Every structure is written in structure tokens, then in C-alpha cells.
A and B are shown apart, each in its own frame.
Chain A
């Protein structure tokens, strides 16, 4: 299993092969993701009962929870990609990290916004200084920091390396930040799906939630592949333009250069 996974990552190291493989996979991924999300939304709105306390606002959770899972999962992907860049110098690792960061920031933002919309009727406030909310907000800041650092450097190779270092520092500190705010103050409910002893949610809510989660993960994968393809194409265009410029420069007579 491990060797086949290694083979896959090393075969994908060739960007051309990645481009052709992702081109075939993308329509399928996008289609299946759309089907899952459509089915999940159908279940959420027509089959899942309103919660006896939360009423219809529980439907927000079908967007909120998958977004929050992705917000954290994508940071892990960014960190793994950064590790792949710094240690193995995998040519696609940086493309993957660069493409994933804005998507991660978007899902984190989505989780924060849906949480605020849910919090207003449930907790009576759009925002409370609760541990979970605060640590997700900090995660959002980390994403913004990664984007800001990358955009502040003109040298792309250097920007990739430095952003990767910051991403790895962030993953080390993320648990510390999470636990520090957790001990500091807490209102957000603890995990109720991924926990020891099985989920504590009734199946009528859990099934649509899981369908939505699968749909969200597939949708993210499709968007991530698309963003990676765009990034590879952008780099090719840049390389071609540079080659063009240097060829034009070489073709000029010596006196015309100065």
C-alpha cells in the first residue's frame, strides 16, 4: 500500500502527467461532488427533522460542520505540502500548498460566518469569545498570514520556501493555540461526531451531515485540482514569456542592447 502511494506521488511529480490525469478526473470529481451536495441538501431540508431545541436553525450545521472540518483539514494539507516542498522538493508540493491556502481561508471564513448566523438565535450573540471560535479565528489569521507573506515577495521560489516554513511553524503551534484557548474559556459544544464511543447525534441528522461532508471534501478536491492546474499553466506561460524575452534580447545586435 505504502509503495503504491509512493509510486503515485512520484508519478505525479511530472506536471505533464498530472495535467492529463487531473483533466480526466476533474469532470468526474465535480459531478460527484455536485451530486453529493445536492443529495445532502435534499436530505437536510426535506428528510432531517428540525431539532427539538434548535428548530430549523439546525440546518445551518449542514454547512457549518463540513466547512469547519475542511478549514482544519486543508491546513493539514498545506502543512504536508510544505513538508513535501522543503524535504522532498516535490515539484507539485508548492503548487498544492499555494492553491490550497485561499481555499482553506474561504472555508474557514464560511465556518465563521455560518457559526455567527447560528450563534445569534442560539446564543444570543453573533460572536462570543469562546475557545473554539477564537482558535478558528486564529486559524483564519494564519491563512491570511500565509497569503500575505507569499504576495509580499517577488521571487517566487523564495516565497514558496518561506511560506512553507511559516506553514510548518503554524502546524506546530496550532495545537498549542487550540488548547490554550480551550482552557481559557469555552462555550462551543465538544465534538459530537468524531469522538470515542461513536457519534452522539441521531441518524436522521448524522446521515445528511456525512453526505454533505463527503460532498464538501469532493468539491474542495475538485477546486484544489482546478487551482493547481491554473497555477501550473500560469507558471508555463511565465516561463514561455521569459524564454521569448530572452530570445528576443539575444537576437538584437550588440549595440542595440545598451
Chain B
């Protein structure tokens, strides 16, 4: 357990001190959302209606941008080999990496989303559901992302490939993320969609590290 937290702290330190990946992701999120009204027209009523979907979709793409570096830097400087031969099981290493990615990328993006909601004229009542669904759903993005990052580690044009592999797997997260916002805003405020979104995140938390660790083992061994 100590090794796990040490790895988590190291990855978070690296992410926040270096900062360029996080900055790029936040900047990308900002500019995508800023460009959407340019493409759709500045109709505030339309933007207000589709704002939750746009914010979710742009968040997925911004998070996707950072996935390529998840294991790459550790492969380059050899620390991935050290981690693979260390006492910590590779699955736990992937959990630490995924958790670090969530804390250092997905969470800041989630916190940026309400501010961008102001630009899209998101209605006031939609802010708590938006934040709730993103907090519940973004772990799925990080942990499904570990699979894509691990599979494309050694491949040529990995960063292009990762989008093709991971985006189809993000579809349930996107659908239930949007669905949960709609049902929380609707009459009665029922939350089964939010529960399912949580189930997807938990499922990704289990499946992602197993699959990603298997993929890493195949490439390191």
C-alpha cells in the first residue's frame, strides 16, 4: 500500500510540477467550447439547450488528448520496467496511474466545465447535475483510457490510434452522462441514470487495470 501511494504521489507531483499536459488539456477544452458557438451560430437559446452535451463531449476529447502520455514517459525513461519488476502488481500500478490521471486531468477539466457553462448560457438549474454527472462519470474516462494508452504504447501513430480505440468505448459514459443530467432536471429528479453512470465508472475501475496490465505485460515481457 505504501508503494501504491508513493507512486500516486510521484505521478501527481510530475503532473502538477511539469504542468504542460494539464495546461494543454485545459486550453484545448476552453478553445473547443469557444469555437462551438462560432460553428453553431450565437443563438443563446440553442446553445443553452445543447450546452450539457457540448460540455461533456468537449471534456471527453480534452481528456483523450492527455491519454497518450499516460505510460509513454515512464516507458521512455525506463521507470515502467522498474515498476513492472517491483513488488507492486502491475494492475495496482495501472490503478495508481489511472487515479493520478483522474486527479490531475479529469478533475480539473470537470471544475472548468461550469465556468465554460457560463459561456454557453447553461441554465442555472443545470449546474449541480452537470458537476455531479461529471464527478461520477469521469473516472470511467480515466480508467477506460488506461486500456487505450497501454495498447498503443509501442505502436506507430499511437496518438491517432488511441482515439479510434477508446472513443467507441466512451459511448456509454457519454450517453448516461447526458441522460443523467436530463433525468435529474426532469420531474421527480430520478437518478437511475446517475447510478448506472456510477456502475460504468466502477466497472471501468476493475476492467481497465486488468486489461491495461495485460497489455503492458505483453509489451514489457
Contact = CB atoms under 8 A, between A and B. Distances in A.
A169 B219 contact: no
Given A148-B161, A153-B154, A158-B218, A169 B172 contact: no
B168 A141 contact: yes
A162 B151 contact: yes
B157 interface: yes
Interface stretch (A9-17, A114-122, A173-181): A173-181
A81 B203 CA distance: 24
A168 B199 CA distance: 19
A94 to B, nearest CB: 13
A169 B207 contact: yes
Contacts, number: 73
Contacts of B168: 138, 141-142, 145, 177
B110 interface: no
A6 interface: no
A166 interface: yes
Interface string A105-144: 0000000000000000000000000000000001001101
A166 B165 contact: yes
B22 interface: no
Nearest to A179: B172
Given A145-B165, A158-B218, A152 B155 contact: yes
Given A158-B219, A166-B165, A177-B172, A152 B157 contact: yes
Contacts of A170: 169
B115 interface: no
Contact of A138 (B151, B155, B158, B171): B171
A165 B161 contact: no
A148 to B, nearest CB: 6
A145 B214 contact: no
Contact of A162 (B172, B207, B218): B218
Interface residues of B, number: 27
B2 interface: no
A240 interface: no
Interface string A151-171: 011110010011001101110
B114 interface: no
B167 to A, nearest CB: 8
A171 to B, nearest CB: 11
Nearest to A180: B172
A23 interface: no
Given A149-B155, A161-B218, A177-B171, A184 B211 contact: no
Contacts of B169: 169-170, 173
A233 interface: no
A21 interface: no
B171 A180 contact: yes
Interface in B143-196: 147, 151-152, 154-158, 161, 164-165, 167-169, 171-172, 175-176, 179
B175 A180 contact: yes
Given A144-B164, A148-B164, A176-B200, A165 B155 contact: no
A181 B171 contact: yes
Contacts of B158: 152
A243 interface: no
B84 interface: no
B215 A165 contact: yes
Contacts of A173: 169, 172
Among B168, B203, B214: residue with most chain A CB under 10 A: B168
A169 B218 CA distance: 16
**5 nearest A-B pairs in the assembled complex, by CB-CB distance:** A152-B155, A180-B172, A161-B218, A141-B168, A145-B165
30 contacts: A138-B171, A141-B164, A141-B168, A144-B164, A145-B168, A148-B161, A148-B164, A149-B152, A149-B161, A152-B152, A152-B155, A155-B154, A161-B215, A161-B218, A162-B215, A165-B211, A165-B215, A166-B147, A168-B211, A169-B169, A169-B211, A172-B207, A173-B172, A176-B200, A177-B171, A177-B172, A180-B175, A180-B176, A181-B175, A184-B179
Interface of A: 86, 138, 141-142, 144-145, 148-149, 152-155, 158, 161-162, 165-166, 168-170, 172-173, 176-177, 180-181, 183-184
